[in-house]
Amino acid sequence: MSELNEKARESVIVLHQIIEKVFHGDGSYVPELLRHFSSDFTMITPGGKSMPLDEVAALFTRLTGGRQGVAITIEQCKVIARFGEEVAIQYHELQQQGENHTHRIALAVIDCGSTPPRWRYLQETMVVS
């Protein structure tokens, strides 16, 4: 596996570890979380809404502490394409909180030429059973 591919995979894991801490209530991680996104970051939610970085920042601030006990698991990271130092990576995200669980497939474009790697784009699709 190339170094850039490994950086992208590691970025997916690290970002979700930080998100889990924010969900558990540690708002001090929100600035660290936001450092992982480029200024032109866009997220497409499972419902199809396009969210620029400022809306994503507001979302994570609002969700701080809102999902106590949630566990996030990342599986099946697969590099789809590379463009210079940018990597398109697909992964499965599983969230479990008590009896409730969600499963989504996501595609992210990550600039692995920066430290930390900066996410430029994320699109999530819910998996329904």
Residue-by-residue pLDDT tens, the chain, 129 positions: 589 999 999 999 999 999 999 999 888 889 999 999 999 999 999 999 999 999 999 999 998 877 888 899 999 999 999 999 999 999 999 999 888 899 999 999 999 999 999 999 999 999 987
Residue 20, helix vs strand vs coil: helix
Strands of the sheet containing 50-52, edge to edge, are 50-52, 37-44, 118-126, 100-111, 86-97, 71-83
| Structural domain range at position 90 | 3-126
Q: How many domains does the chain have?
A: 1
Q: What is the CATH number of the domain that holds 76?
A: 3.10.450.50
pTM for the structure as a whole:
0.91
